[in-house]
Amino acid sequence: MKELSLNILDIAQNSLTAKSTLVEILLEETDETLRITVRDNGCGMSEDMVRRVTDPFCTSRTTRKVGLGIPFFKLAAEQTGGRLELESVSQDVSPENHGTVISGLFYKNHLDFTPLGDVVSTVCTLIQGCGGVDIVFRHTMPNGEVETDTREIRAMLGDIPLSEPEILMWIRGNLEEQYAEVNH
């Protein structure tokens, strides 16, 4: 992957297909580090699956939604001296409180740090394909914050779907303006 934002898209796609109702994408940035967290309240994974999921060669085709995505993300973090953390609670274990949290820590000044890239496109792509799942995106930077929450947008839209191109263009414009303000 040429941009970390593509890894985020790939990881969050898993959350969308895991029967989640809410997927949160959290980016926390300091001058030296970037932490990327994708948290969902989906069906979760078994302990066995959690162990195997970071190994590209153990993934079987029946688990088709989880393939090379997590190993790529892990590699991108580790090659900067950072790490990947993965926690998951399967709905079979906890019917009330289940889901998956994947978090990568990246050292931004490392030579092998992959640039974040076009994260606005990633968020728009996720919202385009999210169906009924809600998405929260929050990017905290040393000098400001960019945020969107589809629950608020849906409340405004009534029964007009988020996937309508005109709506997506508004979301894109809104995020770009927030970034422009932070980088002002």
Partner 1 sequence: MKSLEELAAIREKMANKMALRENAGEIRIVVGMATCGISAGARPVLNTFVEEVANQGLSSKATVTQTGCIGICQFEPVVEVFEPGKEKVTYVKMNPEKARRVVEEHIKNGRTVSEYTIGNNQ
Give me the residues that bind partner 1 (CB under 8 A), please: 1, 6, 9-10, 13, 17, 64-65, 67-69, 72, 118, 121-122, 124-125, 128-129, 152-153, 156-160, 163-170, 173-174, 177
Q: Nearer to partner 1 by C-beta: 9 or 102?
A: 9
Signed CA dihedral, 63, 67, 70, 75: sign only: positive
As a whole number of angstroms, the distance between CA 108 and CA 96 comes to 37
Instruction: Using DSSP, state whether 128 is helix, strand or coil.
Output: helix
142, 31 in Cβ contact below 8 A?
Answer: yes
Please, what is the minimum distance in Å from the beta carbon of residue 27 to partner 1?
17
Nearest distance from C-beta of residue 174 to partner 1, angstroms: 4
Residue 48 CB-half CA count within 13 A: 4
Cβ closest to partner 1, residue 6 vs residue 89: 6
Q: CB 74 → partner 1: shortest distance, Å?
A: 13
